[in-house]
A and B are shown apart, each in its own frame.
Chain A
Amino acid sequence: MSLRDQSGPFFGEYGGRFMPESLIAAIDELAAAYEAARNDPEFQAELAELHRSYSGRPSIITEVPRFAQHAGGARVILKREDLNHTGSHKINNVLGQALLTRRIGKTRVIAETGAGQHGVATATAAALFGLECRIYMGEVDTKRQALNVARMRLLGAEVVPVTTGSRTLKDAINEAYREWVTSVETTNYVFGTAAGPHPFPAMVRDFQKIIGEEARAQVLELTGGLPDAVVACVGGGSNAIGIFHAFLDDADVALYGFEAAGDGVDTERHAASIERGRPGVLHGARSYLLQDDDGQTLESHSISAGLDYPGVGPEHAHLADIGRAQYLPATDAEAMEALRLLSRTEGIIPAIESAHALAGALRLGRELGPDAVILVNLSGRGDKDVATAGRYFGLFDDGAVQE
């Protein structure tokens, strides 16, 4: 079977559906609705029209030669998901899930968010479709991504700061599950990444695969061939699986996912689930997981709220095991340096998440040499991260900015 055709519930030995019985009926309903929708030309046409006229697809590709001088002279091409409406790839998935919500007749959506990009995208789609919307966000993240909290509220969503556990994305997911159990009759859970129980990993990937399909054709047209490497950042892994998917069966295209290494994978402060985790069950799926000997989930760390998650989507776990994709760490410092470099050389401020992929591209370019063509998924723009970057690089005039 083609690697592109895998549809869950399992990817190799990863995935599945480890969930409370109370939620199984809703998940079954969603899986059935999705199965019907993916084969329904009307649904696909409606989604395609939303992409075209609302979120701005196809997104362009941009070659970045001044940046590439720092990558051993390899050609570096960015897929510009940062130019989408709401500023990241998240809108691709959310528009699909919002259409599904309407199909199954539910009037309300809930979602979790880390950096806030998925929350903003969900709040946006909810406004567009006239759905009630509540977003769960770790209290730590509401502080480091205050701008996105304000955006969600402007869009009419209720933002609930989560104060349990590590107060980050993992706990926001727990809280969203808890509420879903209670409100499942009226409410659809719009999951933000290619993780969680079946059908989410396959469904989110399918809504994101447009990234790779567009990019593959665009790079072919620009260069006359396929890229040598495709690079993306990996937290839960939705932007990465989205761009990888079109290339899975192209054996000559190397796929690289860069996980958040935080202070370094040899410290306790990182989010490198594949590099430093081992298989376990969290949030409904079996996958690589940062955990202690007793199976308690460990707290992850990354300067990027969007990558600060101790698990990873099951399809990535499988691709890592079979060697089809390589997953490497990039530290906070490497990502921030890449962020500054892209800003200064090309006039593009990337999201800190995406800067991990850029850091990876710099490293890979030096290894692969000047003949290589490297496609990088620029999954989001850096507006939301300006406060973090400003503090990191000491760019604020004294007293000008309050925490």
Chain B
Amino acid sequence: MIHVADTIAARREAGGGALIGYLPVGFPDLDTSVEAAVALVENGVDALELGVPYSDPVMDGLAIQRATQAALSAGFRLRDVFTAVERIRARVDAPVLVMTYWNPVVQYGVERFAVTLRDAGGAGLITPDITPDSADEWIATSDTTGLERVFLAAPSSSDERLRATVAASRGFVYAVSTMGITGARQDVDAAARRLVARLREAGAENACVGIGISTAAQVTEVLEYGDGAIVGSALVSALADGGVPEVARVAAALAAGARAPHAH
């Protein structure tokens, strides 16, 4: 099992930070989403975040909403996630986290979901709509399966909550760069730098920054203080607009930002 924590550690030893790329499973169809994810890794993305299309994605902006809605309309089923993870892991050696809202996991069965994901070669889960204080069952299950569990931290989180989030997270803590939903922004908020500093004070070993990052320059900037940069909407838009070749091109450009000499 490849863990994101190991990938981040390896990047740190190499003197840099990790680039984490998000794409939803099943957009525009299952095969293409697998090809696109493989292309991300082949073009320098260090770790993958695979999104589970969901009917009520409250943390997502329009680009991701449109893609996940299209995946659902095209017949996406939850089991496709495990198929996608298995097929991607058969071709590339990068850790694959699954980003999912909580109800699909509950309905599949928390333990069954975890075991199936682990057996498919997945590294763990990112859970945007549960916090550690609402996640007893997932915390217990991830402990027994050895899966990583990534919780989100926000600029509005209290110090006490940051400590609890750091303590509960395995792999990294997802530092939400700004008070808002997913989508490209001109400036990644200064709040992100401050939040990462607060997460370090709270004991975080790995803090990766997401939401609003869409350019190589932003990746470079974020990796000055964060352990990883997470890019989603920009990749999803590239896939929507120009298919696998375009998403590969954008990934390579972002990866150049992650390898820029002044990063980290």
Binding site for B on A (CB under 8 A): 16-22, 24-26, 164-165, 170-171, 174, 177-178, 181-182, 184-185, 280-284, 289, 291, 293-297
B130 at the A/B interface (Cβ < 8 Å)?
yes
Complex CA gap A283/B59 in Å reads: 12
Complex CA gap A26/B59 in Å reads: 16
B104 pairs with A184, CB closer than 8 A? no
Binding site for A on B (CB under 8 A): 54-59, 61, 65, 69, 72, 77-78, 102-108, 128-131, 133-134, 151-158, 161, 165, 176, 179-181
Complex CA gap A24/B158 in Å reads: 9
Complex CA gap A25/B197 in Å reads: 19
A21 CB contacts on chain B under 8 angstroms: 131, 151-154, 157, 161, 165, 176
A296 CB contacts on chain B under 8 angstroms: 54-55, 72, 104
Complex CA gap A181/B165 in Å reads: 19
Given contacts A19-B131, A297-B103, 19 further A-B contacts (CB under 8 A): A17-B131, A18-B134, A19-B129, A20-B58, A20-B129, A20-B154, A21-B153, A22-B152, A22-B155, A22-B156, A24-B157, A25-B154, A25-B158, A164-B69, A165-B55, A170-B56, A280-B106, A284-B129, A295-B108
Residue of B whose beta carbon sits closest to that of A176: B58
A295 pairs with B104, CB closer than 8 A? yes
Complex CA gap A21/B54 in Å reads: 19
**Minimum CB–CB distance for A344 against chain B, Å:** 41
**Minimum CB–CB distance for A294 against chain B, Å:** 4
Complex CA gap A26/B107 in Å reads: 28
Picked from A26, A170, A182, the residue with its CB within 8 Å of the CB of B181 is: A182
Complex CA gap A177/B151 in Å reads: 19
B58 pairs with A177, CB closer than 8 A? yes
Residue of A whose beta carbon sits closest to that of B176: A22
A17 CB contacts on chain B under 8 angstroms: 131, 133-134
Complex CA gap A294/B77 in Å reads: 7
Complex CA gap A20/B152 in Å reads: 8
Complex CA gap A178/B45 in Å reads: 28
Determine which residue in A18, A22, A182, A297 has the highest number of CB atoms from chain B within 10 A of its CB, and name it: A22
Q: Given A165-B69, A283-B56, are A294 and B179 also a contact pair (CB < 8 Å)?
A: no
